Amino acid sequence: MPPPIGDSLMPVMTMRFAVRLRALLAAALFFVAAGSAVGQPAHGIAMHGKPALAANFPHLQHVRPEAPKGGRIIFGVQGTFDTLNPFVVRGIAAQAVAPPNGLVVQSLMMRAADEPFTLYASVAASVETPDDRSSVIFRIDPRARFADGKPITAEDVLFSWGLLKDKGKPTWRGYYAKVKSATAPDPLTVRFDLSGVDDRELPLILALMPVLPKHVVDPARFEETTLAPPLGSGPYKIADVKPGESVTFRRDPDFWGKDLPVFRGLYNADEIRFDYYRDANSLFEAFKGGLYDVRLEDNPTRWSTGYDFPAALDGRVVRDAIPIGTPKGMAGFVFNTRKPVFSDVRTREALGLLFDFEWVNKTLFHGLYRRTSSYFEGSDLASSGRSASPRERDILSRFPGAVREEIMEGRLQSPSADGSGRDREAARRALALLKSAGWTLSNGALRNAAGEPFAFEFLVVSRLQERLALNFARSLERIGVTMAVRLIDDVQYWRRLTTFDFDMIQFSWGASPSPGNEQYNRWSGRAADRQGSLNYAGAKSPAVEAAIDAMLSARGREEFVEATRALDRVLLSGFYVVPLFHSPDIWLARRAEVKRPDRAPLFGYAPETFWVEGR
């Protein structure tokens, strides 16, 4: 902490102390001059309302504060990596390097996994923003250090903001470009001017900005891939890298924040390693063989019948079904509307009628899944089953036709079938829609006015996706549509997604209890034209952007919920995906020595709370 002001009157003041005092006085004058443009310094900030924890909280709610330190935890990952630089588009980055779940690079503040969107002090000891959130001020903790011992300063924060704004991933570029100006009133204070933006989430987005060391990072080479370990200020350093195979993180004994309440009970293992496997089968076999410790299961068949190996039967492997308190998000077959074959919404709606969820769930997935009918499924943000409120209708009033009437009234649900896999009524409805969109049956195939057959490619990256896609292909074949299913490797798959080089894919957009700016990257017209964005559907709808704008300008929870429901209605009306399904729980398998708190947080899965016993 800074020395008390009273001590500054001592006659034997040191030169270092004098410099610090001048900085404090400059900050005080700045705050006085700013007047009502700033709020009061606080230990945390919430998107809506106030943080749940008081300023003197002992630890986060979802941790075991007395969890023992030590040991090693190995996580298995499907895929590969070719860079340790997670901040740019180029390359496939290794996991867990940077925020929000970074072990090495920290952000100004830390997100609480048990609140919808609340951040608490870490690198920044305090945050202040006025009621209209037209600016935000972060005061850096004087104790904060990079792993090489250099102090974190306002200069590093401004450097990080400028670098990521100009050369970072598209998401960061979009976020940080909203800032009108950024200044450093003193060496430990940063002020961002957000006037004119009307984005109440932006102060929190800036609080989650990765803080990079200006004295190490070369801006000229920032966009290059690299396997050189980055310098951060987090609890771990990268100790070993095997390109494409594994990354080992080792606890930093000199981590500056180890005694802060926000870190108590977190990051308990001395060593964390991520091992990479090219395909799902080898990943599971490695777990059965004891080669890694923690596994998230995504295959219901395997979850139901595959854990019959000795370690699972005798208790050396433990399985947990962890309830998910957050919205379930949207998983679906994604239409690339940039392709002429999918440009008509009637065509997209028609194909969606042919997915027989009831048969798929019963036959392939042991009945463990639930059908998804909203982009914010299982939460008060979902529009399905609810008639639009006056505020929702007001948001959408400038865009007649953007929302289907039955969706506006909350009556439309995801299509249901008879479970036979050959639902005749669904086929008749689909053909009627396709006919209205200009497709007719001729010689056993659907054809457009030019006589061209209805044919496209479905790109998949795993055997599980392939099995589901082949089932869909058989359903489409019944009405004269040819869908070729192509399985490619992980590297090629993500490169093609980055450039939108596909007709249809299976993808899942997660959802938080407080969705916000990330929705631009998923659904805005700007993102549709920007390679590397998550707008895989190519959505370009002014109504979508108006709804997102309303979400970000909402002053209270009720306004926010209504704006989010408006967004949900527009997306559902666009039929950008064939909605699939979701699990009500997270399926977690772990070695018995790897422990977790009895109480799961709102977000369900919190590996940073795990610890090791008995090894």
pTM: 0.77
The amino acid at residue 479 is I
Report the C-alpha gap between 72 and 94 in whole angstroms: 19
Q: Please give the C-alpha separations between residue 457 and each of 232, 342, 496, 519, 534, in angstroms, as whole numbers.
A: 43, 12, 13, 27, 20
Question: Could you read off the pLDDT of 20-49 as tens digits, one per residue?
Answer: 333 433 443 333 333 334 578 999 999 988
- pLDDT tens for residues 461-519? 988 899 999 999 999 999 999 999 999 998 899 999 999 999 999 999 999 888 998 99
Q: What is the CATH number of domain 38-324+584-615?
A: 3.40.190.10
Beta strands in 363-444 (DSSP E): 370-371, 440-442
**CATH, domain range 330-344+352-423+488-582:** 3.10.105.10
Q: Would you list the domain boundaries of the chain?
A: 1-34, 38-324+584-615, 330-344+352-423+488-582
563-572: pLDDT as tens digits: 999 999 999 9
Confidence at residue 555, expressed as pLDDT on a 0 to 100 scale: 85
Phi, psi of 202 (to 5 degrees): -60, -40
pLDDT value at residue 221: 96
List pLDDT tens digits, range 274-319. 999 988 899 999 999 999 999 999 888 899 999 999 999 999 999 9
Structure tokens at 558: 């009720």
Q: Is 421 left (phi over 0), alpha (psi -120 to 50) or beta?
A: left
Q: What is the pLDDT of residue 279?
A: 87
The pLDDT value recorded for residue 140 is: 98
- Residue at 446: amino acid letter: L
> pLDDT averaged over the chain?
90
Contacts of 138 by beta carbon, 8 Å cutoff, 6+ apart: 108, 109, 124, 126, 127, 157, 189, 190, 206, 207
pLDDT of residue 35: 34
Per-residue pLDDT, 603: 84
Q: Supply 199's token pair.
A: 């984005």
* Residue carrying the six token digits 């606080």: 42
Question: Which pLDDT value is given to residue 99?
Answer: 87
* pLDDT value of residue 419: 67
Render 94-124 in DSSP notation, one character per residue.
Answer: PTTSSTTS-SSS-BSEEE-TTSSSEEEESSE
Token pair, residue 614, equals 């008995």
Q: Which residues of the chain are under the pLDDT cut of 70?
A: 1-38, 414-421, 615
How much of the chain, in percent, has pLDDT values that exceed 90? Answer: 78
- pLDDT at position 429 is 94
pLDDT given for residue 269 in this prediction: 97
Residue 417: what pLDDT? Answer: 65
Residue 177 CB: number of other CB atoms within 10 A? 9
Asked, as a colleague might, if the bond just before 100 is cis with ω within 30 of 0, I would say: yes
pLDDT tens across 409-424, in order? 998 776 666 666 677 8
Helices 557-574 and 542-553 pack at an angle, to 10 degrees, of 170
How does strand 455-460 pair with strand 504-509? parallel
